[in-house]
Structure 1
Amino acid sequence: MSISLLSHLDQLSLIFVCKISLNLFITMLYLHISMVLLLSLYIPAASYATTDTILAGQALSIRDKLVSKNGRKNSISPATGVYCEELDPTGVNQIVLTKQNSTAQYWSTGVWDGHQFASLPETALNAGNESLVMNAYEKYYTYTILEETATVYYNLDVSGQVKIFVWTEGSQDWILVYSQPRAQCDVYAVCGPFAVCNDDALPSCTCTKGFSVRSPEDWELDDRTGGCIRNTPLDCITKGRSTRSTDKFLTLPCVSLAQTMRRIEDAQSIGVCAQVCLDNCSCTAYSFSNSTCSVWHGELLNIRQIQCSSIGNSNGETLYLRLAAKDIQGLEKNKRVFIIAIATGTSVAAIGLFAFAMLIMIRRNKRSFVHISNTAQDCNGIIAFPYNALELGTKNFSEKIGEGGFGSVFKGFLNKSIAIAVKKLDQHAYHGEKQFRAEVSSIGIIQHINLVKLIGFCCEGARRLLVYEYMPNGSLATHLFQSHATVLTWSNRYQIALGVARGLAYLHEKCRECIIHCDIKPENILLNDSYVPKIADFGLAKFLGRDFSRVITTMRGTIGYLAPEWISGVAITPKVDVYAYGMVLLEIVSGKRNSSVSCSCGSNHDIYYPVHVAREIIGGDVRSLLDNRLCGEVNLKEAEIACKVACWCIQDDEFDRPTMGEVVQILEGLLEVNIPPMPRLLQTIAGSSNYSTCC
């Protein structure tokens, strides 16, 4: 009996001790969790990652940020930049780019769906695994690489763009494989206050008139977020309820406007809107559009230059920027001096030409031209001309200025003063009026500085004519291949190469439908009076819907510029234009046709120039590739870049060729380019032909 009682007491003691231990464990666990939560709430801002780079396998947690560095070109002072990347602090499962101390998110990956981010259906690195880990204690994003020989780093650049670089043993170089956002002007306040951002210009940031760069040193390091400062302070004084100001406004047309404005409902005219701004010393700009008055206070950010045109729609508006009267007067004075100089020169020339013109007019038949604008019909911005009007405007097609595969081109005039180029198509070039008008309508709405502007057309019976803007300097082929033509300087050649690349990038990537030109060659690149290149002749162009990546079509183009895909008969992509562009770029460098470049080693044989370029690039000798007419006055760094780009463009496999958008970035110096491999198909062609391989 006593033994049973003792056993029962021992069991009670054991249970009591276990309960005390369990309660003590729960209390300690609770305190531990509380401390972790408190530390996560009060973790200081200094604990955020201040690096601008992470490697594959590193984690980007909810408490971390990537911060851009201003001094990436200055190892002495790598100062912290103004942009950061982080997991969305609002709780949305996405990665966002923002400006420091601002809630403005200018780019995001889209929401994580469990496997990938919504806005990134194809990861920039297709040889790895990415994951977003979420639980009660942590949340972080990480990326791992499956290829053991590849090294990857992820960088937030001073430009506010995220960039991914890959190092492989084969290339022995860092290769940029991904960047977002693609347009520099999409980055929030990338140009800083009172600066205008233009994606089609280099550099993309410029100060508006009346302003100067705030920090030239930072601009030299590609950090332009400091923006611009006024040359002259505003003259505005407020006393009581009255305000006195002598300030005036500078007109900035064709810009997209910053969003941080205030609308003035009772300002029903542009004059009242301007006065509302002048009556407030903090007001720096106003706009008046669609009977709506908007005013801005303080520093102006995100002013973006866009292309405006009288034909087609544009989202551009006009901004009226407040400047001191002194600055406005200086601008007006410079403008008056320029106008007076032009007027004086014009008057002197007019007086000298007057007598000569009178003699010519007396001897001419009194046959007046019919004013084309009075007899034409406007069709959605594209003019439908009657045939007799174009016949009179070109003096019965008497001045022939060119000839192509689909017809001849003649010079003419609109209203006796505006020069035009009229292309008279062969009767077999277009079979049906409906097809012809549809294609003209599609091409007519395309507007870009590097594309020839289509003014109108004529479609009467079997007659098919196209009316373009006139290019006084003719085709690129004339200046490259004809001895009597003006020799293009290297600066002109490089800008022509860049302009053509921009035009093709616009056709491939920015039109509503992807347009493949299919016949890029020097004859179809025209030059205006300032040698700005414009792509012409869309007679062979192929329209590709955005839902399709390639199209099957009959072979078209010109021998010497045809990509291998045309010969094999497979479906084509915009990369056929990239191939042809590469061939044209080689001719721009050499000044001769690719198939007829003399050997520099003393041989009497000609060489196949594309193969010669690839070999010389590998050997590091660029100077021997250049046009002798340049007399050595060449930027060798630009020449090397151009030759490398050309060799990449003419690679056998279309997937090895860059896009035209990437070509633009390389020529602008935004992307690095490494040494290309030898195109095997071209080497085979050269080896089986009569061309020498040169030394």
Structure 2
Amino acid sequence: MYTSPDELSSTFVSLDISGQIKLNVWFQANQSWESIFAQPADPCTPPATCGPFTVCNGITRPFCNCMESFSQKSRGDWELDDRTGGCIRNTPLDCTRNKNTPSSTDIFHPIAHVTLPYSPKSIDDATTQSKCEETCHNSCSCTAYSYNNSRCSVWHGDLLSVNLNDGIDNTSEDVLYIRLAAKDLQSLREKKRKSSIGVVIAASIISFGLLMLMLFFAIWRNKFKWCSAPLYGGQDSGGIIAFRYSDLGHATKNFSEKLGAGGFGAVYKGVLSDTTTIAVKRLDGARQGEKQFRAEVSSIGLIQHINLVKLIGFCCEGDNRLLVYEHMSNGSLDGHLFKSNAAVLNWNTRYQIALGVARGLSYLHQSCHECIIHCDIKPENILLDASFVPKVADFGMAAFVGRDFSRVLTTFRGTAGYLAPEWLSGVAITPKIDVYGFGMVLLEIISGKRNSSQVYTSSNYHVEFFPVQAISKLHEGDVRSLVDPKLHGDFNLEEAERVCKVACWCIQDNEFDRPPMGEVVRVLEGLQVLDMPPMPRLLAAITECSDAASM
């Protein structure tokens, strides 16, 4: 120790137990020694500063802390700032207590954003995180592992020099998984639960205050008018996102890449900021667009099924009505069945598409809170993802039937060629109208062409209606001649007969003769057998008219 020239204070240099060289100054006013310089500046830089099973954070005081489920080995030493003894486990590992037991109940707890300990052992055979964890779990001496950039590292024995990311000198993003006894898991949960109570109370108070502030702001700034009435009848959104119009304009490059168009508007391709590819339907017409908008959000906005297109979100800003869906890279079914330049769908893909659509419709009819009738089943409304998994889409015409009712009276809707006969009679509809449309789609999947086609001869032309031919050939036992010739005979005849029989039952005149979609699924899965369907009276009348016209 020596006295400085100005004789106002005394200083001395020391080598701290942490490994830092410190310059200490005596402040007369405070009657205490204060450290005014240290090298290295970060106390976590020297190796093993805090001892085993600790985490060092140079910007907090104290900078040494025990890992979760560990306690100070010597409290007296820690009080004297000697933390080199580190920490010890609160609960012995199961692997340690039961060395003869082939399995262990130990768990792994993550510590994020840390510099990994010294002397790791690389495990080249562990190519996934689960394999890396299993490798460590199977060794009683293994105390931690880390899996980063497809590289597995494990540690045996004490863990030294684990430093937390302070955002300055240490910017590590690694995660260390430390081995703990299963009993410690419950302790961690209780600790988090207790600490969460205060957070929840504080967050609730703050949220309430913010809600009041936002409500006041919304009333004050009423010139921005969003949806004029609730979209969900008082229910929540089920996780879908309310987009701003400007965000969708940016995602679609100002609606420049058009995927297609329907009766209510055009569909554009877009990419969100997280690189998710989307399809944005921009609805036209204030009244009809609003009606379709509400129908779609109220139906698929609240349900999830692998065979129903996923609604990601919507925009309801001013007069703009937009719906945001997951993008289907293979487009709609009609493009693969009817376009001459499209690649031919093999039979197995066609069969799986038929089964997937049946499952989606069965879910709509039988598994939702309310029965949802799609009302417009056709190939254009069946989308295909990258693996050709079918997704029923376009719920703008959907109708809802409460579980206490069997049918609903609604306005005429749908597409010619897929309309059930009861639409023409004006009676209340049931889910069987979807069954009829599905039957027509099945026949087009079989033939690879539209059900109705014009055939020209040298003298005149006539219209061929494939469903008439299909049920006639089915009765004759000649289903093979009905299958798309582009398959060149490469199909499963038993499956073709099954699909044809299902289709002909689905297009029966009387709705009571058509099977429910749940039964259709069981038949297509091979779990149930249908009898031979009769010739529908409407098809018989078409046949007679066709015969008379050709005479």
Return the alpha-carbon distance in structure 2 between the equivalents of residues 463 and 550 of structure 1. Answer: 33
Q: Could you tell me which residue of structure 2 aligns to residue 562 of structure 1? A: 419
**1:242 has 2:90 as partner:** no
Residue deviations 1:187-210, cap 9 Å, x none?
A: xxxxxxxxxxxxxxxxxxxxxxxx
Tell me: CA distance 1:500–1:692, structure 2 relative to 1, closer, same or farther (3 Å). Answer: farther
Decide whether the 8 Å contact of 1:644 with 1:676 is kept in 2.
yes
Q: Could you tell me which residue of structure 1 aligns to residue 254 of structure 2? A: 396
Return the alpha-carbon distance in structure 2 between the equivalents of residues 438 and 646 of structure 1. Answer: 28
Residue from 243, 252, 255 that aligns with 1:385:
243
Residue from 408, 416, 422 that aligns with 2:266:
408
Decide whether the 8 Å contact of 2:435 with 2:515 is kept in 1.
yes
1:155-304 to 2 correspondence within 5 Å?
Answer: 242-245=98-101, 247=103
Deviation at 1:242, TM superposition (A): 3.0
Decide whether the 8 Å contact of 1:393 with 1:416 is kept in 2.
no
Q: Say what the alpha-carbon RMSD is for the aligned residues.
A: 3.4
Residue deviations 1:162-191, cap 9 Å, x none?
A: xxxxxxxxxxxxxxxxxxxxxxxxxxxxxx
Tell me: CA distance 1:584–1:240, structure 2 relative to 1, closer, same or farther (3 Å). Answer: closer
Deviation at 1:392, TM superposition (A): 1.1
Deviation at 1:673, TM superposition (A): 1.4
Deviation at 1:688, TM superposition (A): 3.0
Q: Could you tell me which residue of structure 2 aligns to residue 459 of structure 1? A: 316
Tell me: CA distance 1:388–1:641, structure 2 relative to 1, closer, same or farther (3 Å). Answer: same
Decide whether the 8 Å contact of 1:247 with 1:325 is kept in 2.
no
**1:619 has 2:484 as partner:** no
Return the alpha-carbon distance in structure 2 between the equivalents of residues 689 and 248 of structure 1. Answer: 77
Return the alpha-carbon distance in structure 1 between the equivalents of residues 103 and 415 of structure 2. Answer: 60
Residue from 485, 489, 504 that aligns with 2:346:
489
**1:588 has 2:445 as partner:** yes
**1:445 has 2:302 as partner:** yes
Return the alpha-carbon distance in structure 2 between the equivalents of residues 248 and 605 of structure 1. Answer: 77
Q: Could you tell me which residue of structure 2 aligns to residue 348 of structure 1? A: none
Return the alpha-carbon distance in structure 2 between the equivalents of residues 541 and 443 of structure 1. Answer: 10
**1:646 has 2:503 as partner:** yes
Tell me: CA distance 1:460–1:633, structure 2 relative to 1, closer, same or farther (3 Å). Answer: same
Tell me: CA distance 1:537–1:248, structure 2 relative to 1, closer, same or farther (3 Å). Answer: farther
Deviation at 1:596, TM superposition (A): 1.6
TM-score under structure 1 length normalisation? 0.45
Deviation at 1:691, TM superposition (A): 10
Deviation at 1:327, TM superposition (A): 13
Residue deviations 1:54-93, cap 9 Å, x none?
A: xxxxxxxxxxxxxxxxxxxxxxxxxxxxxxxxxxxxxxxx
TM-score under structure 2 length normalisation? 0.57
Deviation at 1:431, TM superposition (A): 6.3
**1:673 has 2:522 as partner:** no
Q: Could you tell me which residue of structure 2 aligns to residue 687 of structure 1? A: 544
Deviation at 1:501, TM superposition (A): 0.1
Aligned to 1:562, the other structure's residue is in SS state: coil
Residue deviations 1:342-400, cap 9 Å, x none?
A: xxxxxxxxxxxxxxxxxxxxxxxxxxxxxxxxxxxx95411111111111110111111
Deviation at 1:577, TM superposition (A): 0.1
Decide whether the 8 Å contact of 1:247 with 1:324 is kept in 2.
no
Q: Which residue type is aligned with residue 242 of structure 1? A: N
Q: Could you tell me which residue of structure 2 aligns to residue 635 of structure 1? A: 492
Decide whether the 8 Å contact of 2:299 with 2:372 is kept in 1.
no
Q: How many residues align?
A: 340
Return the alpha-carbon distance in structure 1 between the equivalents of residues 353 and 134 of structure 2. Answer: 39
Decide whether the 8 Å contact of 2:293 with 2:396 is kept in 1.
no
Decide whether the 8 Å contact of 1:611 with 1:679 is kept in 2.
no
Aligned to 2:324, the other structure's residue is in SS state: strand
Decide whether the 8 Å contact of 1:471 with 1:528 is kept in 2.
yes
Decide whether the 8 Å contact of 2:355 with 2:524 is kept in 1.
yes
Residue deviations 1:114-156, cap 9 Å, x none?
A: xxxxxxxxxxxxxxxxxxxxxxxxxxxxxxxxxxxxxxxxxxx
Deviation at 1:607, TM superposition (A): 2.1
Tell me: CA distance 1:429–1:518, structure 2 relative to 1, closer, same or farther (3 Å). Answer: farther
Deviation at 1:461, TM superposition (A): 1.8
Q: Which residue type is aligned with residue 515 of structure 2? A: P
Deviation at 1:326, TM superposition (A): 12
Gapped regions of structure 1 (runs ≥ 5): 1-237, 250-268, 273-319, 330-335, 341-377
**1:418 has 2:268 as partner:** no
Identity %: 62
Aligned to 2:405, the other structure's residue is in SS state: coil
Deviation at 1:245, TM superposition (A): 4.3
Q: Could you tell me which residue of structure 1 aligns to residue 45 of structure 2? A: none
Q: Could you tell me which residue of structure 2 aligns to residue 517 of structure 1? A: 374
Q: Which residue type is aligned with residue 659 of structure 1? A: P
Tell me: CA distance 1:627–1:324, structure 2 relative to 1, closer, same or farther (3 Å). Answer: same
1:502-513 to 2 correspondence within 5 Å?
Answer: 502-513=359-370
Decide whether the 8 Å contact of 1:686 with 1:692 is kept in 2.
no
Residue deviations 1:183-239, cap 9 Å, x none?
A: xxxxxxxxxxxxxxxxxxxxxxxxxxxxxxxxxxxxxxxxxxxxxxxxxxxxxxx99
Tell me: CA distance 1:658–1:670, structure 2 relative to 1, closer, same or farther (3 Å). Answer: same
Q: Could you tell me which residue of structure 2 aligns to residue 73 of structure 1? A: none
Deviation at 1:605, TM superposition (A): 5.0
Q: Could you tell me which residue of structure 2 aligns to residue 538 of structure 1? A: 395
Tell me: CA distance 1:246–1:396, structure 2 relative to 1, closer, same or farther (3 Å). Answer: farther
Decide whether the 8 Å contact of 1:606 with 1:692 is kept in 2.
no
Return the alpha-carbon distance in structure 2 between the equivalents of residues 328 and 531 of structure 1. Answer: 41
Tell me: CA distance 1:690–1:449, structure 2 relative to 1, closer, same or farther (3 Å). Answer: farther
Tell me: CA distance 1:429–1:507, structure 2 relative to 1, closer, same or farther (3 Å). Answer: farther
Decide whether the 8 Å contact of 2:299 with 2:395 is kept in 1.
no
Q: Which residue type is aligned with residue 335 of structure 2? A: T
Deviation at 1:417, TM superposition (A): 1.9
Aligned to 1:688, the other structure's residue is in SS state: helix
Return the alpha-carbon distance in structure 1 between the equivalents of residues 481 and 455 of structure 2. Answer: 11
